[in-house]
Structure 1
Amino acid sequence: MTVSTTSAASTEPTASASSASTAVEPMNLKIPLTGVVALLLQGLMAVGAHGSTTFNLTASSDLFRLGAPTLNARLVILVAAGIVVAATAVAFHRARSRSRIPTWVTVLIGIGFVIAFLAWAGAGRNGVIPLVTILSSALGLSVPLVYGSLAGIIGERSGTINIAIEGQLLGGAFLGAVVASACSSPWVGLVSAPVAGVLVALLLALFGLRYRVNQIVVGVVLNVLVSGLTGFLFSTFLSSSPSLNRALRLPTLAVPVLSRIPLIGPVLFQQTILVYLMYAAVAILSYMLFRSRWGLRLRACGEHPKAADTVGIKVMRTRVANLALAGALAGLGGAFFTVGSGLSFDNDMTAGNGYIALAAMILGAWRPLGSLGAAVLFGFATSVAQTLPVIGSSVSPDIISMIPYIVTILAVAGFVGKVRAPAAEGVPYP
């Protein structure tokens, strides 16, 4: 009797463990439901679409012209809806089988919805959708977001919360404009912009890492400090000395042959050096972060600093050095607002892009390529909002301008799926 009781007791944990291991995980319906919402909106667009839409697919420098086809708006919307239906069906199938939904499914849903929206926005209004212009502008507007999100990735992967990206962008914009004007060279301004980002990053390291002040609070304070300081200098010294705040622009560098490929050539390969450096930064960081000793040590400091310390990694030194690197990238992104765009410095001209960059970082799951995609999404929404009034669309640009912030809220709320921040981010060490 005792033996049977012991046997039953010994098998009870095994049975409970077995039942726990075979527990069915809930379906992840976020992406499929997004597809359904997109289909409902496309249905409303199809009902309200009348007339045709012209898509301008050609730039003057193309090797050959794709022309500007005029298509029936309702037909385009229905075809785009078909793409969304197929992608949503795949998403539902993968969700039912508790499998991971591929990224391309989400991309297809987004592309299908965008095509339908553009067809609806330009239908029956004698407006031409300048697709090349929209895409070029979207890439340009995403540049500071990409640099800012890369700065956030490096900081948080090493264990430091970098809320001060907004201040680093603004400082880079200010110093880039002033130095470029003083030296009459946008190239010198481009080189000096990262210095401002590094200075802000070192202040964050001093108070957040050395003196263990709450890193979020320090980041917000630094943003306010940089905003106030640049605003004071702008209203005093720059206003009285316009020669120190001139509109100088980096030259556009067209890549031979590649820049003449229709549609993608003018978008990707007729840009300034700042954009080409962005390509390189994303590619190099994607490789180094996950396939190099530097990346392994950086991630170890952000995930388990005690374990990193036991194998000889200097946690504090690693965090400070990478925070300075992150500040340099953010400062380089700030140069886009002045020497990268051919504008003089103005008060708070970054307009919250540092916070949007943080959202892009979260939306991209702390990965460079994912953050690049999120930043381009935000840039595209802004570009469309700027283009709609030009083509005479009745769609309010204010509604389109809300899209980046709506996506930000959804990203922070976790709607995009499960993303896990580095375990030791914001935790002082030792």
Structure 2
Amino acid sequence: MKINFLSTAKAGLMGVALLSGTLIGCSSDDDSVSTPTPPTGEQSYYNVVFGVSSEGNSGTYAQALENISEGEISFNGEGFEVPSVRTARIYGSPSGDYLYNLSYGGGMIYKYKVNGGANYTMLTETNVQIAMGTAYPRWTVVSKDNALVHTINTENQYDENENYTFTKSEAILQNVGLDGMTLEENNTLEIPSFDENYHIWRIDNPTIKNGKAYYGVAMRQFDPATGENVNLETYKATTMVVDYPSLTNLEFIQSENALGSTYGYRTPVYHADEAGDIYHLTSNPAKVLKIANGDYDNGYELDLAQALGMQEVGANGWFYVGNGIGYVPYYDATLGKDKEQAAWGVARIDIYSGTAVKMNLPDNLWMWYYQSGVVGKDGKFNMAITPLGQQGNIYKFDPTSTSPDAFEVGAELDNGADSFYLGVY
């Protein structure tokens, strides 16, 4: 189902409940651009990234390695500290020769040349705080040339008698050119609330396809009796869509098959496959949904709990390797996502056959902050996986096999009592 809105100031005139009605917008003539799948084996370096402290304000360190199939990787006195107020939001170029970092809380984006080991040279930086109005925007690299930076502002609305009416959301969108870290297209879009006082409070993890940007969405309800927001995930899974690169012509599409947030957290969520369709995860319960021809295909869903033979499963996102195969860091939602339970695993999924396989990995995993994996020169998908407080390894998964043991154990990863690996870039 599609819900269209006028952008900027015009949207504020549309009223409160906007789950019905249609407005017409034009589509972009820009060439199709899709989110880059992991590198395809030509990279010069594998950037292994490590975080210290799982409380959010984490120190983040990187090392660039030519070989992660053997040996030991340690960050004890080693590594390049990536600047960030909170845990850094990092992306690597397809070659592994460049690293991009959003300093979350600092409002800066940096581009580094990767020289090997702990040697990273900063090439350029840009301040997005002025354009975004916050030092805490989120961002996603959407192609080898561009990234999208985004944030949501909310404001409760009241009538002349000071009675709450609805919560207005404002999306600020910024396109960034990665070559010179240039600020390109920018737009502000006003989003009145949905039915039952639901309003959008976060968007993230967009992907680009056929001249459109598809963003994951999280909603909240405002309770005027308490003056607090309530995180009830009983709304239809929703995707925000705008024209790209103009960032105009706002609309929303909603699934009939799943409820709850679609924005993920720090793991990629939306991916375009080779046929041009888009697949994304919902968080809890974790389901893969399909978008085809600009709207949800409600004849498709992959329920991860059902496919894995579990009761309840949650996930932050997933990695698409190609040919319908992906890998999902997931957690047993009956136990919870927190590190106290450490009830995480990794599943290989086939989005075409609708199947999922639990990989036989160590217990006591916590992957809430996990961000990245890459396809190596041998065609294997590389992830950095460590049990809490224990040494771990690079795992090299074979996408061509359906076996739960279809992986090789690579380099050993040194780990501390309250540290974790963000991934391989």
Which band: TM-score by shorter chain? under 0.3
Higher strand share: 2
TM-score, with length taken from structure 2: 0.20
TM-score, with length taken from structure 1: 0.20
Higher helix share: 1
